[in-house]
Structure 1
Amino acid sequence: MLGAVIARHTAHVARHATYTPARMPKRLPRARTLKGDPKIAYYDSGGGVAGEPAVMLLHGSTMRSEDWENVFPRLATRYRVVAYDARGHGRSGRAVSYELRAFASDAIRVLREIVKGDATLIGHSLGALCALACAADAPELVRGLVLEDPGVRYPGRWEPEKERPLREALAETGDPKAFLRAVGKIPLGSPGPRGERTYGEMRGFYAAERVVTYLKDLDPAFVEWRLATDDLSAGEVAGWIAGVRSPALVIAGETRLGSQLDDNGEWALKKAIKDLTVKRFPGTGHVIHGYRPEPFLEALEPFLRRVRAPEGATGP
């Protein structure tokens, strides 16, 4: 009897344990490659507490898996965490198509071939739309959704003048000094924590010296595609939202500071997804996990506990 009580108490403590920084690695694990067209670079922490679903991280446009370095190691103290570089980004292969549906198909492929089981998906921006696609098209693989500032009214063609600094930077990748200067001139998607407007003004996680590592492997054809193409697959987003059956948490900033989730977009999500929680972070715009990782993780944990696997299940 005493042994059973102790066992139940131990299981309860394990389920409700918080992150343990002492065990937290500083970087992502070694990159691995999922063969295919295109090849997909991914990072897999392995491990995880028995009975917890895996967590899959999906980054936004022009980023790469390193954009989750403030989040991945902490989540990995409890969960198996998988992140991957989107096609044309980071270490993943370049592609013929950069339609939204192609990005979404890659996400489902990683779920089926790498995670090989259900997971909670945490997606930012473009990654959030891919997470929605997974929930609609492969519901058996999605235990829960965390959508960070999803642009549910996915824009079609990018504006050439707005993206000119990015295009100029990508033309300088062969000259490290010129590349760094050009990256420093790229406007931020939303103001930094101290009102910074460009990567050159930033310090720390999004300093230009770090962002060059994000952009050095970005396929310029991805940017040109977005500048020249009205992505007809964007019309599928509403269908993906309507197909979500899993619990979902939306984390977003303020539209005046660059959040892509306006009132109409939030209403569309609330109308379609029955089990939905929306949390707005005052003083932030499009990026929350990078600027404010601690509050971001604090918002995640109750949701991750709620969608945990049934007691007694084992992880991969």
Structure 2
Amino acid sequence: MWWSPSRATTHGSWTWRTTGDGLRKVTMFGVRGRTGHLAWYRTDEAAAEVAFLHGFSDSAQCWEPLIRELPGVRALAIDARGHGESGLPDEPIRYDAHRDDAALVLSSQPGDGGIVVVGHSMGAMAAAHLAASRPDLVRAVVLEDPPTGAPGDQHDEPWSEPSWLADLRALDLPSRIAQGRSNDPDWAADELEPWAVSKAQVNPQLFGLRFREAGPLTDLLAEITCPVLLIHGDTERGSLISAEYAERCAQAAAGEFRAVHVAGAGHSVRRDNRPQYLAELTTFLDR
């Protein structure tokens, strides 16, 4: 099912997106589609080589600044349920649901299976679940600062909107961009608008659902046989993965595994240090 929520004129892999306000901006995504409740975007008509899964409160559009730095890579990005332009099923939020969402979209795409999946935070944990359970779909995985998960049996718990997100959503777009610039002055300018737009797109009904915490990341890595690249920053700057935990991940991994520490970066590693992130990612993709 193809869709066009705004009129678009395509030129190669670049699309001029227009709205009622006139010409807005150039986007990398020349093909837009929907599978079930999920919105997805591809750089062109060809089968994608790399799929991108975003983190909590972001959207697929947040990957555009990075994808622009990957010339020649055919990319697919997916809006997670309740984010971007995707719908929100009325059921508890679990990582296996995010996994199944990604599998549904990947299974609907052209190509004969086997794609590199890059995920950030929530999307990284979804990517790990996907790689563990669907090796037919995933040939390698990149995990950007995933949550470590929690040990023991996890139950669906009430979930409320974080105050920082509620505060951002109360602002208009220019004010959200300004807040992002104040919070992270070292981010490249092209990161700020998609980050700010995505915050207003989070479906508030998401927080009326119940949430189930992920199990330990190390348990998932023990089930993943394809190559894994783990990228993390400094815990004192907000990274979820410490050097000690990265070593535990290496010991638990069933397949080829490499952990990269990006000094000075926090939870959004690619935004805090795009050059090093790109260098590590392109080296991994070239292999």
Name the TM-score, length of structure 1 as normaliser.
Answer: 0.71
User: Aligned to 1:43, which of 10, 28, 41?
Assistant: 41
Alignment partner of 2:259 out of 278, 283, 308: 278
Q: Is the 8 A contact 2:13 2:44 kept in 1?
A: no
Alignment of 1:111-260 (within 5 A): 111-114=106-109, 116=111, 117-153=113-149, 163-170=162-169, 172=170, 178-180=171-173, 183=176, 192=184, 194=186, 204-207=189-192, 210-225=194-209, 229=210, 231=212, 234-235=214-215, 237-260=217-240
Q: Which has the larger radius of gyration?
A: 1
Residue 222 to residue 264, structure 1, CA distance change in 2 (3 Å): farther
Percent same amino acid among aligned pairs? 27
Which runs of 4 or more aligned residues in structure 1 lie more than 6 Å from their structure 2 counterparts after TM superposition? 155-160, 184-188
Q: How many residues align?
A: 258
Structure 2 gap segments, 5+ residues each:
1-11, 15-25
Q: Distance in 2 between matches of 1:74 and 1:187?
A: 22
* Contact persistence 2:53–2:120 (CA under 8 A): yes
Structure 2 CA distance for aligned equivalents of residues 293 and 169 of structure 1:
24
Q: Tell me if structure 1 keeps the 8 A contact 2:61–2:194.
A: no
Counterpart in 1 of 2:273? 292
1:26-47 per-position Cα deviation (integer Å, ceiling 9, x unaligned): 52214523232xx211111236
| Alignment correspondent of 1:34 | 34
Work out whether residues 58 and 127 of structure 1, in 8 Å CA contact, stay in contact via their aligned partners in 2. Answer: yes
1:33–1:41: 8 Å Cα contact kept in structure 2? yes
Over aligned residue pairs, what C-alpha RMSD do you find?
3.3
Check conservation: 2:218, 2:252, Cα contact below 8 A.
no
Distance in 2 (CA, whole Å) between partners of 1:237 and 1:31 is: 33
Gaps of at least 5 residues in structure 1 are: 1-22, 173-177, 195-201, 307-316
Instruction: Give deviations 1:232-281, integer Å, cap 9, x for gaps.
Output: 5x127554322100111111111110001124531332122231111111
Question: Residues 64, 230 of structure 1: CA spacing in aligned structure 2 closer, same or farther, 3 A cutoff?
Answer: closer
Separation (CA, whole Å) in 1 of partners of 2:40 and 2:241: 28
TM-score by length of 2: 0.77
Residue pair 1:54, 1:115 contacting (<8 A) in 2 also: no
Contact 1:135–1:142 (Cα < 8 Å) also in 2: yes
